[in-house]
Amino acid sequence: MATKKKSGKSSKRKTSEKILQAQANKKELLSFGQIGKMTYTELGKALTKGTVTEKWLKSYYSSARRKAMSRLARVSTTTEFGPVEKQYFMKTSNLTTTSALLHEVADVNRYLSSSSSTIKGLRQRRDKQLASLQRHGFNFVDQSNYGDWVRFMQWFQSSEYSAYYDSNDDEVAEVFNAAEQASPKEWAALFESYVSSGVNGNEGPERR
């Protein structure tokens, strides 16, 4: 019974969206696909020009939010990529101002277009980062311990070691490249110490 009820709600929702899209076509409003590529500034301009309305944006946001929440549920079930960045999208009913609506639409657009919103995207990003690590001699990091490496790097960025390893720059934070002051062997030793401590980045290894 629960399955049929859910299916019925889904069918009604799709029918409602089709009706709204047909109405939007008559008014020459932007499609959901077009809105999904827009930034906060672009959304504001579209609202001023009348190519979208607040009602149409709320309808789009409701649909996009469901998709985003579904993706979040999927990516949060895996640990192979390390901690998944937490996202929160307000319920449509809580968007009581135009500014809040535009911000949430822009945020959900940004999330849905990011590689971190899908398992496939996360794997592609992982493989790219692993290739970068391999080029820099970090052969001790592979798919089997990549999740631990991500957690390790998050801990590292806020640890006392960062000054010694001179890794406080955007390139390192983004792609996990090594700084010249520390060799891959030294990184491997610190990483091994971190993993063996078994604290998952809450404290990390003690510096000797």
> Tens digit of pLDDT for each residue in 100-156?
999 999 999 999 999 889 999 999 999 999 999 999 899 999 999 999 999 998 888
Q: Are 154 and 201 in contact (CB under 8 A)?
A: yes
State the Rg of the chain over Cα: 22
Q: Are 137 and 184 in contact (CB under 8 A)?
A: yes
pTM of the predicted model, to two decimals?
Answer: 0.69
The tens digit of pLDDT for each residue in 28-63 reads 899 999 999 999 999 999 999 999 999 999 999 999
The tens digit of pLDDT for each residue in 2-17 reads 444 555 666 666 666 6
Mean pLDDT of 186-203: 78
Rounded to whole angstroms, how far apart are CA atoms 201 and 149?
Answer: 10
pLDDT category at 199 given cuts 50, 70, 90 is: low
Amino acid letter, residue 18: K
The tens digit of pLDDT for each residue in 70-100 reads 999 999 888 888 887 788 999 999 999 999 9
